[in-house]
């Protein structure tokens, strides 16, 4: 089956889930979406598995704890599909569609099933980049950019390549893990041509647990490697999913063997509907610290936190103490109190 068929044939309702998993799920207000090939892996892994916990709904999603816009994307959104928080780089959000809906998603209050491609907005985005030449990198995110067609991606890439100041292009995606069939010849060709148009073309795969790296996923990563696309990974620390040093060690060492550079380990965001995955900084630091003994620097990601309210990312690990003193240093070097 082609990836587009797999995508259209996904489980989307509580009834679809109950039938597929032969279990009842709570009624929750957030949307559901799981392609069947991936659902079959979750079913095999079973109810206590990291896969089940990440993708199947839980009654705690209805809790009112947490923030609606945990990392302040609205504060820096430009209304033209760009989020400009750091001087030199922007997020580009051409779609709000994902190959799966992760239950812990920090954007879970924004994602929809509708694709929002507005040519006018794209023209404004290009104009914005042209008048802000300090921006040298465009990061495709979403949603998930690999849900766009190869033609659409090629078009965006071409347009960005004509903005002289853009040197780097990057894709943040969960698709290689959820729908590995998406890494098809057409997409590889698009990425290969992007590598020629920019100084660097990077794919950052979102992966949280070693059990997500099944044979078909490894094959998809190998295809990226063989086509000389630089592959990095991003993971989110999640309570009950990968919250031990061993889980993280297994994940990062496996990624390193697959020639994927572990890039970031994100501290969980305080997202409304995802607080059952949350933990404090002290706990995260205790889990992360022993990795320094088990992994070389090239296989160890940076452990980071997005400061609530749009202050940006900063290091979550503190070599001086496990305890959190209540403030973090933001991207401008200023101390910000949180909570």
Instruction: Assess whether the previous peptide bond of 143 is cis (omega < 30° from 0).
Output: yes
Q: Find which of ligand PLP, ligand SF4, none residue 272 binds, CB within 5 to 8 Å per kind.
A: none
Interface stretch with ligand SF4, choices 61-69, 73-81, 99-107, 213-221 (CB under 6 A):
99-107
Per the listing, tokens 């039938």 go with 19
Closest CA to 151 of 129, 175, 181, 184: 184
In the list 71, 83, 91, 98, the residue contacting ligand SF4 (rule: CB under 6 A) is: 98
Count of chain residues binding ligand SF4 (CB under 6 A): 9
- Contact (CB, 8 A) for 213 and 260: no
Point out the residue whose Cβ comes nearest to ligand PLP.
85
The residue within the footprint of ligand PLP, chosen from 85, 107, 108, 267 (CB under 6 A), is 85
Interacting residue with ligand PLP among 83, 138, 148, 300 (CB under 6 A): 83
**Residue from 224, 133, 73, 30 nearest 12 by CA:** 30
Helix, strand or coil, per DSSP, at residue 200:
strand
DSSP conformational letter for 311: T
d(CA 126, CA 306): 27
Among 20, 30, 86, 168, binds ligand PLP (CB under 6 A): 86
- Nearer Cβ to ligand PLP (74/335): 74
- The correct pick among 6, 69, 137, 144 for binding ligand SF4 (CB under 6 A) is 144
CB environment 80-94: b (16+ within 10 A), e (fewer): bbbbbbeeebbbbbb
Neighbours of 242 (CB within 10 A): 24
Chosen residue from 91, 202, 237, 307 binding ligand PLP by CB under 6 A: 91
Write down the least CB distance from residue 164 to ligand SF4, Å.
30
Residues in touch with ligand SF4 (CB under 6 A): 98, 101-102, 105, 107, 111, 144, 174, 206
């Amino acid at each position: 089956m082609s990836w587009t068929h797999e995508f259209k044939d996904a489980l989307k309702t509580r009834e679809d889930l109950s039938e597929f998993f032969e279990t009842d799920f709570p009624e929750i207000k957030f949307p559901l979406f799981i392609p069947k090939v991936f659902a079959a892996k979750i079913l095999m892994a079973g109810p206590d598995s990291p896969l089940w916990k990440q993708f199947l709904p839980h009654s705690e999603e209805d809790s009112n704890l947490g923030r609606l816009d945990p990392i302040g994307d609205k504060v820096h959104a430009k209304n033209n599909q760009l989020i400009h928080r750091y001087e030199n780089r922007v997020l580009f959000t051409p779609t709000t569609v994902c190959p799966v809906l992760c239950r812990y998603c920090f954007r879970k209050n924004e994602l929809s099933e509708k694709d929002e491609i507005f040519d006018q907005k794209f023209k404004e985005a290009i104009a914005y980049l042209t008048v802000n030449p300090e921006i040298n990198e465009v990061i495709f995110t979403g949603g998930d950019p690999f849900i766009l067609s190869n033609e659409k991606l090629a078009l965006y890439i071409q347009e960005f390549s004509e903005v002289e100041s853009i040197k780097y292009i990057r894709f943040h995606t969960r698709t290689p893990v959820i729908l590995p069939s998406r890494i098809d010849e057409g997409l590889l060709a698009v990425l290969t041509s992007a590598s020629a148009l920019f100084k660097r073309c990077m794919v950052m795969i979102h992966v949280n647990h070693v059990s997500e790296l099944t044979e078909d996923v490894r094959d998809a990563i190998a295809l990226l490697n063989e086509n000389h696309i630089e592959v990095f990974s991003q993971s989110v620390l999640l309570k009950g999913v990968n919250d031990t040093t061993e889980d993280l060690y297994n994940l990062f060492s496996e990624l390193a063997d697959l020639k994927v550079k572990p890039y970031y380990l994100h501290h969980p965001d305080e997202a409304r509907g995802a607080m059952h995955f949350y933990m404090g900084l002290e706990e995260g630091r205790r889990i992360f610290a022993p990795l320094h003994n088990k992994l070389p620097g090239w296989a160890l990601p940076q452990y980071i936190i997005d400061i609530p309210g749009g202050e940006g990312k900063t290091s979550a690990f503190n070599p001086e103490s496990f305890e959190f003193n209540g403030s973090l240093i933001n991207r401008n070097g200023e101390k910000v109190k949180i909570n």
